[in-house]
Structure 1
């Protein structure tokens, strides 16, 4: 299996993170990528350097005004009097504002509120370059998959919370969605997304909500108690028949329940008749995570890799969450080993 990354990820060094009213150290740090590279190295895999995604390619998924904001936000923010070190919204438009015709102004403060969903996506001087590099890694992996092979993209920042025109939850460019569009353009008639991050893949769901050619499946912790809070419920079935499947799990479930739900997602993908698969892979479902809503073990991730590999679909794996840098490299190695054993069987 070929693997890809872009070293510009290290330029993204977010500091701000708001949790239960307290500002805390951000979990999405460059050490995550270093740990994941160690996991690849333990399997004898050296990630290849991917080129950054082009603006034209980003526009296949994202709104142009949003991309312009993201590319220039750090510079525009730094020009404000008494600006803090990172771009963080202090207001978001409410439904009442939107219902009464609310629109953003030219101010970067206004545009930050408009183009971000929450306070968990601070933008710094290196965020744009890192995000475009992560997108390039996903596209390089998708290119392999378009040729009928499997590939892994070490994407940092992650991407599955990003809507077409809105950042959120540590995510700025939707890497998985770009991979899907690349596969569709390369000839895959139907593409499925199987998101196993512990957080609902709300951005990916939103991007493909009305698409009959893309099935989005997300296996995650109960959004009634967990980010993204408002979406990710089983009742959200998409704008087309069989276009979306959410598999929310009770807090604290472990391998057996989680893997049974994964089997349900795999069954839906088989019924859908996908030609290719994109797997947003998060390790924040691990029992060792700092927020540990779910209790999946290393063996559980290995079994998940085997179950996904046994589907026999050309598969593009894009890295999402997982914040315990002491374990995520090993979890990646276990997942890819299970996946590889199943595909070579």
Structure 2
């Protein structure tokens, strides 16, 4: 079960579906139809059942019907997990949930989030958290069994590969307007917790550098108009390029990757940056330290000056950048593979569905 699904959780579900099908498991992915168009669950060998987003009053009924013959249900994300709890009410079907990120909310919405977390944690047979912080949160919330999840960053699909002998970096940089100047790349939905206000504050100071770096932000969200207004009013060297399907190419062409906010617990950008050997500057929040170790420049969260200074230092220190690239390569070798991720999930499924021997 997948709700709207961010890029990380959707790609993870696609990877799991392919790996489980290859091991003989019958997999049905319940998600909005747009998710299947983007991530091709059916191409991975799974059946796809359209289940609308949580705002649709028919979503729980659709999910309940889809789960009629299920031996086990695995829900990803808080809202998808809560709908799974409702859909499975009165049934003995085991429920596994994966928490990929800590939901961000304020005021009344934060209270509702805590209620949902408690209901889901107590109803699930197993809660898998992508970071130790999320595992601890699940335990505090009442989970009977909470474990650290092995989550691999799926490799590029065949459609994403290129036949060109040379990487397309010069072309990408020219398209973005970053010829003869550093290219700084940030990726993620344009939401408050992503730290884009801090990024624009830092970019104001970078106007004094020679050459002036270009900051490119790939993503869409509710802050688009507000951020664009600031960029124009303050004449900031920042481009919002919207949602892109070539983020891997954009990142590979960048001089630095930027993660200014509290973002994801297991940041996809951080993983892709280290895989692409692009030095990363990140706010020290969530599970970032656990994910990247010493393979990135980590600065205090919500500290514009520290973030800005770290970027300036790296732009002027090619040796440190090369050291971070090598550290990143070593760090990625410690992350679980897709096969290891599937094996862990399958062992949880077997544990919950295999008949227990009589004592």
Q: Above 0.5 in TM-score?
A: no
TM-score by length of 2: 0.28
TM-score by length of 1: 0.29
Q: Which has the higher helix share?
A: 2
Name the larger-Rg structure.
2
